[in-house]
């Protein structure tokens, strides 16, 4: 199989999900999002698995976000609501994995990549890894309440605000000191580090892991507000349409937002 795809590998108690779209820094097409969801659900039903590792192909990015070209087909804000609901469905599959999850970040983890990394229990990165969600400087779209809760809960609200409200890209060393990253390891040593963490996680009592993860998920993501009308407003705006055009034109200029 060629082209953008999700690769699922099993090795004893460990499953690996690999994002394979290196020509686009592993940007996820809508089909890749859904294939990831299906692969995760497949893993969740396999009671022999104790650890799941997420990683990008190519050595330059974990995941650089969503393939933006699909946004050109949106006709109204309702398309944006449907898109965010679809992403939530895919991300919930990761949230509900009952075993330990590890994200291995080599290069960019932005947009959807930041969301996926934040859903994992642990994150191990190379020193040059970079993280962000600069949607207010690129597309002018927004996140679902579930995504905000997930990213803000993992990063901390202050860093999450810097990423979204200021469009900052934050380097791995700072996120190690904040606790978001478990380890920062040189590229040539990262595989051994990841395998060591995976082995330790696999030794944990599975019911302890399952119950602790589910308790934390319910605490952090229960009773979220309904922001569907806000999402519809943003995705139906002239600003969003302008942002998509500018992004695909590769002008690298911040669009002139009008707030409409």
- pLDDT of 43-98, one tens digit each? 999 999 999 999 999 999 999 999 998 899 999 999 999 999 999 999 999 999 99
> What would the mean pLDDT of 126-133 be, rounded to a whole number?
98
Residue 238 forms part of a structural domain: no
Q: What is the pLDDT of residue 254?
A: 86
> What would the mean pLDDT of 104-121 be, rounded to a whole number?
97
Is 111 a residue whose pLDDT tops 80?
Answer: yes
Q: Distance between CA atoms of 111 and 114, rounded to whole angstroms?
A: 5
Can you give the residue range of the structural domain that contains 111? 5-186
Q: Distance between CA atoms of 70 and 134, rounded to whole angstroms?
A: 18
Whether the Cβ atoms of residue 165 and residue 73 lie closer than 8 Å to each other: no
Q: Distance between CA atoms of 66 and 12, rounded to whole angstroms?
A: 31
Q: What is the pLDDT of residue 1?
A: 65
Residue 27 forms part of a structural domain: yes
Whether the Cβ atoms of residue 150 and residue 118 lie closer than 8 Å to each other: yes
Number of folded domains that form the chain: 1
Residue 123 forms part of a structural domain: yes
Q: What is the pLDDT of residue 250?
A: 87
> What would the mean pLDDT of 211-228 be, rounded to a whole number?
95
Q: Which of 89, 86, 99 lies closest to 17, judged by CA?
A: 99
Q: Please report the sign of the dihedral spanned by the C-alpha atoms of residue 152, residue 158, residue 161, residue 167.
A: negative
Residue 192 forms part of a structural domain: no
Q: Above pLDDT 70, what percent of the chain?
A: 100
Is 147 a residue whose pLDDT tops 90?
Answer: yes
Q: What is the pLDDT of residue 171?
A: 97
Whether the Cβ atoms of residue 119 and residue 91 lie closer than 8 Å to each other: yes
Residue 213 forms part of a structural domain: no
Residue 207 forms part of a structural domain: no
Q: What is the pLDDT of residue 251?
A: 83
Q: What is the pLDDT of residue 252?
A: 80
Which residues 6+ apart lie within 8 Å of 43 measured at CB? 8, 15, 17, 49, 52, 97
Residue 66 forms part of a structural domain: yes
Residue 125 forms part of a structural domain: yes
> What would the mean pLDDT of 247-251 be, rounded to a whole number?
89
Q: Distance between CA atoms of 72 and 113, rounded to whole angstroms?
A: 21
> What would the mean pLDDT of 105-115 be, rounded to a whole number?
97
Residue 131's domain is classified under what CATH number?
3.90.226.10
């Amino acid at each position: 199989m060629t082209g953008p795809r999700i690769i699922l590998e099993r090795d004893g108690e460990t499953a690996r999900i690999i994002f394979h779209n290196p020509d686009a820094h592993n940007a996820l097409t809508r089909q890749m999002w859904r294939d990831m969801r299906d692969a995760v659900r497949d893993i969740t039903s396999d009671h022999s698995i104790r650890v799941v590792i997420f990683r990008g192909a190519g050595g330059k990015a974990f995941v650089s976000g969503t393939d933006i070209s699909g946004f050109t087909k949106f006709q109204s804000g309702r398309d944006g609501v449907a898109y965010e609901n679809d992403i939530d469905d895919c991300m919930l599959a990761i949230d509900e994995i009952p075993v330990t999850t590890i994200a291995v970040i080599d290069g960019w983890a932005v947009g959807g990549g930041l969301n996926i990394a934040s859903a994992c229990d642990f994150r191990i990165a190379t020193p040059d890894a970079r993280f962000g969600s600069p949607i207010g400087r690129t597309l002018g779209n927004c996140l679902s309440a579930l995504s905000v809760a997930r990213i803000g809960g993992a990063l901390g609200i202050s860093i999450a605000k810097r990423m979204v409200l200021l469009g900052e890209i934050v380097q791995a060393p700072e996120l190690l000191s904040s606790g978001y990253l478990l380890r920062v390891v040189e590229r040539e040593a990262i595989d051994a580090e990841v395998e060591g963490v995976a082995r330790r996680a696999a030794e944990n009592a599975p019911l302890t892991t399952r119950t602790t993860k589910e308790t934390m998920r319910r605490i952090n993501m229960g009773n979220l507000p309904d922001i569907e009308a806000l999402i519809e407003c943003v995705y139906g705006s002239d600003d969003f349409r302008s942002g998509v055009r500018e992004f695909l034109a590769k002008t690298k200029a911040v669009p002139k937002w009008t707030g409409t």
